[in-house]
Amino acid sequence: MNGPTFIQFFTVYVRPVLDVGILAFLIYKTYQLLVMTDAVYLIRGLLILLAIYGISFFLKLSTVTWIMNILAPGLVIGLAIILQPELRRIFIQIGRQSIFGRKSMARNSWIEAAVSASVYLAEKRRGAIIVMARKVGLASYIEKGIPLDAIISTSLLISVFEHDNPLHDGAAIISQGRLAAAGCFLPLSDQQEIRKTFGSRHRAALGIAEESDAVVLVVSEETGTLSLAYDSKLYYDLSSEEVLERLHILFSEQNLRREGNEVSNEP
């Protein structure tokens, strides 16, 4: 296939498909993220305004069209400000995608410690929320908690969530294979179904999973169930085996363990 023929083929067949495909992907991902929050109502309102503008333009309603043209710049700026959290989530979601797929499962000993502690806490009906950072840093949340920078062990995590420990109401954050901080407070998710069904721990877990690429392990104080939140979704009532397997898969692309970090799994 010579040069001009290939260029013609690309221009006529490939480029339109790429154009439409990329646009469709962006629209779908944007809608997928916005539909889970209250921002979806703003989008519906915007669509109504666009429909009014289209009708007024078609029917040549000059006064309505003139008013809409004046309001348009302000509406665009206002939407950008109001939707700023959602736009941030979209860029994080795009940035966290891997082009080359997952590598083989890596063994991170701190994962076993976190799961072991969670199982023990679940049996004792003690609530817990353990945030595990991935690529997106959580410095702003770590700074607001009690910094620890400790070697992770099952017994340490259990002690953090003891009822007589002042840190037990907040979240523990694991970063770079170490317990970075405890007693951290997280943003609550605005997803409608979560607000109706779950309490503050699960909403906080989903909230930080929406704001970053972190993986969050939640122990329910009421039911003793284990749940995971990541990629803006909550996976409720998982077995300890499922939690362990998912965590190893989710962290298989990263080498979070520092040399010399020996982790104990004794409760």
Residues contacting 64, CB < 8 A, separation 6+: 52, 53, 56
pLDDT tens per residue across all 267 residues of the chain: 455 576 777 677 777 888 888 888 877 766 666 555 555 666 677 778 888 888 888 888 888 888 888 888 877 787 677 666 666 665 665 565 544 444 433 347 899 999 999 999 999 999 999 999 988 888 889 988 999 989 999 999 999 998 878 888 889 999 988 999 999 999 998 887 776 778 889 999 999 998 888 999 999 999 999 999 998 889 999 999 999 999 988 887 554 433 334 343 444
Superfamily of domain 109-250: DNA integrity scanning protein, DisA, N-terminal domain (3.40.1700.10)
Instruction: Show me where the domains of the chain are located.
Output: 3-95, 109-250
Contacts by 101-105, CB closer than 8 A, 24 or more apart = 102/249, 102/252, 102/253, 103/252, 103/253, 104/252, 105/248, 105/249, 105/252
Rounded-to-integer distance, Cα 13 and Cα 33, Å? 31
